[in-house]
Structure 1
């Protein structure tokens, strides 16, 4: 047993420890936010969620379990408790597994490198031995700084850079006293093989490898459908995101979707799409210059009209399962971001962006919401948690027992 009081200590938007109780309560909140849940128990469709412990992948897992009653496998890569607490994703996974058991959902979670073939073999074994040997859905949601190619052993590293020329943008930071500052930051352009490296990590190569691997084992069901989660976002952040190295990777992901869609349609009557989600505060997005300011301003414009990730992924599951039309655009993308890119919303956010300074940002952006969202990523700022009380940090990884 390892109980202690956990205080929120951070370096910028990165927290050094996570709070198990807060992470558990957050997962419970997300589950309760899913409307019209499926009845407990039952033989729901078999799904694989790759990147199941954080951000949109976590939302996909919880929405799938609660709304559709999926059973299957979640794959993620988290650090166990030790000298420090476990990662937030470790505790969120334990909480998700507990809720799945309570609702009669058979969901196994694997902790390992999703890029490697060893995890793919584990998944294939589980699908064969436990889930009837056929996979109905695969949701791919991986945001990683590097990837080791399992065939060559080459390590590829992704970078956040514009393409062609340096880019200067506003960004939101907080000083040592917590006061907000709007600063300008200039990012040097991609050089050398930065684009190729980023595409190798964040593009569609691993997604396609997963589908090909499972198809080669005859583990894909008739009508198999797969979706990779993506983001386009506002013109305000386009130079560093959609038009930068990450954007090149997203374009590759979308091209992969079109290739897979054609292939799956012929062989299984299946589908492959990218799901373009809307803005949210995630551990990945806070690392992108300008996104913190943009998210705070967007919330300032929309307030509670912003659709949380679990709400967006509930909509995606409705489309994947046929409860609503899939309705992809001409590029094979399911658009869940229309509320963010509504012209009136874009205009209002752009006006606030133009006027945002250190002196005005508190009036233009919802900074209290943004700060709470960042802390909630690590289990802090969650209502109902006594952060002055000691909490057990040595939470085990959920058992794969039937």
Structure 2
């Protein structure tokens, strides 16, 4: 029997518990079902579907709105007992198993989303086996690198500030340490590369390819998840390289709206709230912001995990009766986070956090830590240990 142990390097998970991932998928499905059914899209393509926002979107739409889904991601399967692959690999498999039990189509593509070949593979599947059209395209890709689809050049993104050095507190989850970090400003080349990897260019390429192939339904919707944050994280996020990438997504969204005009389609930037993801754990200073925010919002009853947040977005906002759009046409489910009272209390709390109290009940550190562990199948509610062999894991079909 394989012994599953949580292992970290800094704030990066090095291990996975596949059985825990299966239970976490079921927990999210149960949450959606508890909210009841809702009217939504029926044929959905999710680019970046194996974890966090993308996975939660897929679960909400499948088990809340009865949607058939295509999920695209780049994950790795088990090679040995010491290298069991990625959590996203198992998330894809266990989602598919659960969806198919309820008669839903759940197709997984494990390929490079940036390549032209992948786009054509997905298009062929839509035409031949997915009734020919999709009515929602979700772009939720989080990648640190991108291979240029035309030249093959490897492009890397960076998480840095722009034009200024930023100094602030951070936490190392592996060492359980609270420390001061210095973030150096990005070069012009680093800014451009980050926009290329994390901006809206690939989203636009996807929508052009899907439109040209005539696989977009009349009234098609497409969404891209963004994050703006507040003054508390603006120096390293909104005004940093990540902010530049998010701004590019807004530019590309406008172009997509023009592209979809003749089929009455709509492109929407969804400004999501701060949640615990593999990406958010490695953004400089961000875990400490979350530690403050989570404590404040948990006390107010408004803290959300990705499944809670995404289910609210689709159930009540995009396909519901309570959308909140700003003057730029962005959907703003982050209004709970940006409530002035919440932000004021968060700032006050963050200013109190130090090396002696960061891991006490004063902060939301325990919430962040547990939610981060859940991403890899550890500390999952309802988890029961099962005996499973490497061969059985390798035999799972995605």
Q: Give the TM interval when normalised to the shorter protein.
A: over 0.9
Deviation string 1:225-260 (CA, Å, 9 cap, x unpaired) is: 100011112322211111100100000001111221
- Where do 5+ consecutive residues of structure 2 fail to align? none
Matched pairs, number: 390
In structure 2, distance between residues paired with 1:58 and 1:238: 27
Separation (CA, whole Å) in 2 of partners of 1:392 and 1:93: 19
Cα distance change on mapping 1:390 and 1:201 into 2, 3 Å: same
1:241 to 237, 243, 247: 237
Q: Is the 8 A contact 2:24 2:381 kept in 1?
A: no
Which position in structure 2 is the counterpart of 1:63?
Answer: 60
Quickly say closer, same or farther: Cα 1:337–1:49, change in 2 above 3 A. same
List per-residue Cα deviations over 1:314-366 (Å, max 9, x = no partner): 22223676332555322231111111110000000000111111123224312
Contact 1:162 1:240 in 2 (8 A): yes
* Contact 1:276 1:335 (8 Å CA) reproduced: yes
- In the alignment, which residue of structure 1 is the partner of 2:246? 250
Q: How does 1:240-319 map to 2 (within 5 A)?
A: 240-264=236-260, 266-303=261-298, 304-318=301-315
Structure 2 residue aligned with 1:371: 369
1:296 CA drift (Å): 1.5
1:79 maps to 76
Q: What TM-score do the two structures reach when normalised by structure 1?
A: 0.92
The equivalent residue for 1:210 is 206
| Secondary structure in 2 matching 1:4 | coil
Q: Is the 8 A contact 2:270 2:333 kept in 1?
A: yes
Equivalent residue of 1:72, what SS?
strand
Q: For 1:2-38, what per-residue CA distance to the aligned partner results, in whole angstroms no more than 9, with x for missing partners? A: x411111221222222001100100111111114444
Task: Spell out, residue by residue over 1:53-78, the C-alpha distance to the aligned partner (whole angstroms, 9 max, x if none).
Answer: 01101111111111111113100110
Q: For residue 351 of structure 2, give the secondary structure of its aligned residue in structure 1.
A: helix
Shift of 1:397: 5.2
Contact 2:9 2:174 in 1 (8 A): no
Pair 1:38–1:392, CA change in 2 (3 A):
farther
Instruction: Tell me if 1:220 matches 2:216.
Output: yes
Contact 1:227 1:275 in 2 (8 A): yes
Task: Note if contact 1:254-1:331 (Cα within 8 Å) is conserved in structure 2.
Answer: no
> What is the CA deviation profile of residues 46-99 of structure 1, one whole-angstrom value per residue up to 9, with x for unaligned ones?
110000001101111111111111113100110110121121111111111111
Alpha-carbon distance in 2 for matches of 1:13, 1:103: 37
CA-based RMSD of the aligned residues comes to: 2.0
Q: Note closer, same or farther for the CA distance 1:222–1:325 as it changes in structure 2 (3 Å cut).
A: farther
1:349 aligns with 2:346: yes
CA distance in 1, matches of 2:174, 2:138: 38
Distance 1:57 1:349 in 2: 27
Paired residues for 1:2-401 under 5 Å? 3-34=1-32, 35-38=34-37, 45-83=42-80, 84-174=83-173, 176=175, 178=176, 181-264=177-260, 266-303=261-298, 304-318=301-315, 322-324=319-321, 326-361=323-358, 362-386=360-384, 390-393=387-390, 394-396=393-395, 398=397
Distance, in Å, in 2 between the alignment partners of 1:386 and 1:339 is 34
Change in CA separation of 1:340 and 1:18 when aligned onto 2, cut-off 3 Å = same
CA distance, structure 1, for counterparts of residue 395 and residue 55 of structure 2: 19
2: distance between equivalents of 1:363 and 1:160? Answer: 30
CA contact under 8 A between 1:51 and 1:57: conserved in structure 2?
Answer: yes
* 1:46–1:386 CA distance, 2 compared to 1 (3 A): closer
In structure 2, C-alpha distance between the alignment counterparts of 1:332 and 1:58, rounded to whole Å: 25
